[in-house]
Amino acid sequence: MTPRPIIGITTQTLEAIPGELPRCWVMSQRYVDVLTSVGAVPWVIPLTHEMSTLREIYDRLDGVFLPGGVDMDPATYGEAKLPVCGATDADRDRVEIALVQWAMAERKPLLAVCRGVQVLNVAAGGTLYQDLEHWTASPIKHDYWPSDGNHRDDLVHEVRVEDGTELATIMNAGTSTVNSMHHQGIKRLAPSLVANAYAPDGLIEGVEGRDDGYLMGVQWHPEELVDHAPAARRLFESFIEAAAAQQPEVAAR
114 is catalytic: yes
Q: How far is CA 130 from CA 32, 64, 122, 182, 216, in A?
A: 28, 25, 12, 11, 22
Concatenated DSSP letters of 44-80: EEP--S-HHHHHHHHHT-SEEEE---SBPPGGGGT-P
Strand order in the sheet with 193-198: 41-45, 6-10, 63-66, 110-113, 215-218, 204-209, 193-198, 157-161, 174-178
Which of the following is catalytic: 96, 114, 142, 157? Answer: 114
223 is catalytic: yes
Which of the following is catalytic: 142, 157, 182, 221? Answer: 221
Closest Cα to residue 7, out of 32, 43, 38? 43
What HEC string does 202-218 produce? CCEEEEEECCCCCEEEE
CA angle at 236 for the pair 245 and 191, rounded to the nearest 5°: 80
- Which burial class, exposed, middle or buried, applies to 182 when counting CB atoms under 10 A from its CB (0-12, 13-18, 19+)? buried
134 is catalytic: no
Question: What is the rounded (10 degree) CA torsion for 186, 191, 194, 199?
Answer: 20
Tell me the C-alpha distance between 13 and 24, whole Å. 6
Tell me the C-alpha distance between 70 and 114, whole Å. 10
Q: Which residues are catalytic?
A: 114, 221, 223
